[in-house]
Structure 1
Amino acid sequence: MRKHIPLSGRSRSILRRPLSVLVSLFAVVVGALVWSAPAQAHGSVVGPPSRAYQCWQKWGSDHMNPAMQTEDPMCWQAFQANSDTMWNWMSALRDGLGGQFQARTPDGTLCSNNISRNASLDVPGQWKATDVGSNFSVHVADQASHGADYFKVYVSKQGFDPEAQSLGWGNLDFITQTGSFGPSTDYTFDVSTSGYAGRHIVFTIWQASHTDQAYMWCSDVNFG
């Protein structure tokens, strides 16, 4: 009969060590996830929807559907280029611009906020457009309640073709700059325009108030 040999204190310590290492590793991983979560919580224009948000809203839960290629070719090319652009539709931000938006954002990179991983958003084409009137509202979702020093809104000039031309600063008419907004998860403000018809881009800049953090988005619209 095999005798049971009791473990010494040293043996118990050796056996416990792998378990303690695993517990510590698990704690580190969980801590890292908790720490990183707020960094992913920012915001975007959700009405009229920004390009990335529109693609995520329409195809996020169905992004493997081959029908996207023919039904929504611009979202298709964006998902093919980098699907992270859509999963992180709320994170098109840059820090420390000091209000130098034009000087530090080259023509042709406005829709991506000059973020290389989002370059697909700068590609001209048949992006799905939202119908608007001359007076419309801009709705911004702010998951982290950053607040806003202001929003700036521009509209592409009459005659600019968003299906064939990449957007530059010279293609924009400045429309309005808002006042400040306190921390909230949603901001809505009215925009009044005149003289626009057909396809256009509404270009919005959000200067967050919690730090020097700037967001830029293109929303495709059709003025009725």
Structure 2
Amino acid sequence: MLCHDHAQNPRWIMRALVLLSAALLCLVPWAETATAHGSIVNPGARAYSCHERWGDDHMNPAMEQEDPMCWQAWQDNPNAMWNWNGLYRNGVGGNFQSAVPNGQLCSGGNAEGGRYRSMDAVGPWHMTNIGNNFRIELYDQASHGADFFQVYVTKQGFNPATQQLGWGNLDLVKTTGRYAPAQNISFDVSAPGRSGRHIVYTIWQASHMDQSYYLCSDVNFG
């Protein structure tokens, strides 16, 4: 009779459904997915490049030898790559050098609670071959637009494979104007007098709010 009485009680039925739903949710694996923001895709920023090359094969042990810097990043925090488009800070007010300390430029000053700290690792990151005149390409999933971009390039003689990146290692080579909201934004940059391994450091000031992105792209000036 107890089971029959419970079966006739709407409150008991509702409670059972809630408990069953909660139990089923516990069986579903949770994974952080990329939020709708953006990144420099050419020359690819570090998190984007690691995701592009290994996102479908990130458990492959060959990565350790073939792409050691991406391997250390995947080992440290895979969500940095799954969220390749979320390396930003809010409310900086244009005070980029105050907000982002030396040695933490590629993580945006350990943006998002340190999720991107592996982007600051010093070593032989995979490079994109470019010329002294090259094109920056942004993919902006949410079409935020831009108040401006600032593009820096490391000074000739700086070696990103052995030296930690600081503001004093960079030259500002381009500041753009505003861009209307769009998913794809691109512009030309000139960095004369460079050869070999360098970092192109792009700050994207989004226009929908005070949100700034900090993106290291590893390049080889040929």
**Same-fold call, TM > 0.5?**
yes
Please say if 1:47 is aligned against 2:42: yes
How many percent identity over aligned positions? Answer: 54
Counterpart position of 1:13: 10
Corresponding residue SS for 2:8: helix
Counterpart position of 1:108: 103
| RMSD, aligned CA | 2.6
Match of 2:211 among 194, 210, 213: 213
State the distance in 1 between where 2:19 and 2:161 align: 54
Counterpart position of 2:199: 201
The offset of 1:166, in angstroms, is: 1.0
Match of 2:144 among 136, 143, 146: 146
Residue pairs, 1:32-43, within 5 angstroms: 40-43=35-38
Counterpart position of 2:27: none
The offset of 1:16, in angstroms, is: 3.0
Please say if 1:90 is aligned against 2:88: no
Counterpart position of 2:69: 74
Match of 1:127 among 104, 125, 131: 125
Paired residue type of 1:158: Q
The offset of 1:24, in angstroms, is: 8.8
Paired residue type of 1:66: P
The offset of 1:121, in angstroms, is: 0.6
Q: Deviations over 1:79-138 (max 9, x none)?
A: 111111111000001000000000111000000111222111111111010000111100
The offset of 1:11, in angstroms, is: 1.7
Please say if 1:117 is aligned against 2:120: no
Match of 1:156 among 154, 157, 168: 154
Greater Cα offset, 8-17 or 156-165 = 8-17
Q: Deviations over 1:21-55 (max 9, x none)?
A: 36997xxxxxxx9xx98x81100000000011110
Counterpart position of 1:170: 168
Q: Can you give the 5+ residue segments of structure 2 that lack an aligned partner in the other structure? A: 23-29
Corresponding residue SS for 2:52: helix
Match of 1:63 among 58, 61, 78: 58
Greater Cα offset, 8-17 or 201-210 = 8-17
Change (3 A) 1:9 1:113: closer
